[in-house]
């Protein structure tokens, strides 16, 4: 992914701001650092009374465009998110998955990440993605796994599960993975396989 460092750090910080301030109706945050926030969102929103049993905020069919100096940088889409503010370690849950796309100045998609389930924790802006996680960088390298952690404070991505990395002419598989946040420097900890692909076929 191109500039995954920006994508993950920015989105984590904005998610935290958006969902901590439930009475602000989540229209000021969600996908970039504090210095960017000019966006467009559409969502069905429900604010619950604050109890220990109920999530404090839910939204369906949520979409946000985040821009910097009038240029759209990110698009985030999710069928549903649930804000769990009353937990010991508050977090935002995406039980039906999330899709994030990053754009260049010409509105071309330069990177993307999707998964079927995700959490974002307030305490350290850590993301956990599960179930059919797919990340693609600007070169077209594709990472596939069932579990991935984005540690935005340490600026790294990692997994302790089976991973597959698909490049233009090679496919790597193994157990355990670590990368910088832009997914430009990465390695598989326990390499199990390396297969060359005939691009002429």
Domain CATH number, residue 138: 2.60.450.10
Instruction: Look at residue 190 and tell me whether its pLDDT is greater than 90.
Output: yes
- Calculate mean pLDDT across residues 68-80: 86
Give Cβ neighbours of residue 108 (< 8 Å, ≥ 6 apart): none
pLDDT score, position 103: 84
- Domain membership flag for residue 50: yes
In sequence order, the β-bridge partners of residue 57 are: 47, 83
Cα–Cα distance measured from residue 66 to residue 46, given in angstroms and rounded to the nearest whole number: 22
- Domain membership flag for residue 146: yes
Q: Does residue 129 or residue 197 have the better pLDDT? A: 129
Helix (H, G, I), strand (E, B) or coil at 54: coil
- Domain membership flag for residue 39: yes
Q: Which pLDDT tens digit goes with each residue over 120-160? A: 899 988 889 999 999 998 889 999 999 999 887 888 889 99
pLDDT score, position 113: 85
- Domain membership flag for residue 124: yes
Instruction: Look at residue 118 and tell me whether its pLDDT is greater than 90.
Output: yes
- Domain membership flag for residue 142: yes
Tokens of 80: 């549903």
Give Cβ neighbours of residue 48 (< 8 Å, ≥ 6 apart): 54, 55, 56, 57, 58
- Calculate mean pLDDT across residues 44-72: 71
Taking all residues of the chain, what is their mean pLDDT, rounded to a whole number?
76
pLDDT score, position 40: 44
Instruction: Look at residue 85 and tell me whether its pLDDT is greater than 50.
Output: yes
- Domain membership flag for residue 94: yes
- Domain membership flag for residue 90: yes
Q: Which pLDDT tens digit goes with each residue over 5-32? A: 445 555 555 554 444 333 333 333 333 3
pLDDT score, position 121: 92
Q: Does residue 128 or residue 4 have the better pLDDT? A: 128
Domain tally for the chain? 1
- Domain membership flag for residue 201: no
pLDDT score, position 12: 54
Q: What percent of the chain has pLDDT over 90?
A: 33
Give the residue numbers spanning the domain of 59. Answer: 4-196
Distances 25 to 56, 58, 116 between C-alpha atoms, Å: 11, 10, 24
Tokens of 185: 């420097």
pLDDT score, position 194: 86
């Amino acid at each position: 992914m191109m500039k995954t460092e920006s994508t993950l750090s920015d989105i984590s910080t904005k998610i935290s701001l958006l969902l901590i301030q439930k009475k602000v109706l989540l229209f000021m945050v969600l996908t970039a650092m504090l210095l960017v926030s000019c966006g467009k969102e559409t969502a069905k929103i429900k604010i619950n009374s604050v109890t220990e049993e109920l999530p404090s905020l839910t939204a369906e069919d949520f979409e946000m465009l985040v821009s910097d100096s009038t240029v759209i940088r990110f698009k985030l889409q999710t069928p549903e998110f649930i804000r769990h503010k009353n937990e010991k370690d508050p977090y935002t849950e995406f039980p039906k998955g999330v899709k994030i796309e990053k754009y260049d100045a010409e509105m071309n998609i330069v990177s993307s990440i999707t998964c079927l389930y995700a959490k974002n924790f307030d305490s350290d802006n850590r993301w956990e993605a599960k179930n059919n996680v797919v990340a693609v960088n600007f070169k077209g390298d594709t990472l596939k796994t069932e579990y991935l952690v984005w540690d935005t404070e340490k600026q790294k991505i990692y997994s302790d599960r089976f991973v597959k990395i698909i490049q233009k002419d090679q496919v790597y598989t193994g157990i355990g993975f670590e990368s910088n946040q832009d997914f430009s420097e990465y390695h598989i900890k326990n390499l199990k396989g390396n297969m060359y692909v005939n691009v002429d076929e």
